Amino acid sequence: MIEKILDDKKAENIVTLNLIGKTSITDYMVIASGQSARQVGAMAEALQIELKTHGIRTSIEGMPQCDWVLVDAFDVVVHLFRPEVRTFYNLEKMWSVELPESVPASGK
């Protein structure tokens, strides 16, 4: 459902990581990019609204700047980035997952 919401909001390079057994923080992590702070904020708001209609409460951090917004839906944590911020933090590498080809592994 989260991937569909993000896809509907034109998120790019959506990656879902299965973290069951790797961390106690969450079961799944979804990482996606938006082309602007405005798009990142709109994706976060859409997630919050849609998940609420399904009875899932969320906590959101990072909305004032919208460079990196974290949406905590308990069993799923969603990271929404502008592309250059996503490249800088490179969460996929941290969790040993290869980046999609269209997301550069370095800032070059």
Domain count, the chain: 1
This prediction has a pTM of 0.85
Reading the chain (108 residues) residue by residue, the pLDDT tens digits are 999 999 999 999 999 999 888 888 899 999 999 999 999 999 999 999 999 999 999 999 999 999 999 999 989 999 999 999 999 999 988 876 555 565 555 544
Domain containing 50 equals 2-94
Beta strands of the chain (E only): which ranges?
12-18, 28-33, 59-61, 68-72, 76-81
Side chain identity at residue 37, one-letter code = A
Q: Is residue 10 in some structural domain?
A: yes
Q: Is residue 24 in some structural domain?
A: yes
* Domain harbouring 82, CATH code: 3.30.460.10
Q: Which residue has the tokens 């990142």?
A: 40
Q: Is residue 103 in some structural domain?
A: no
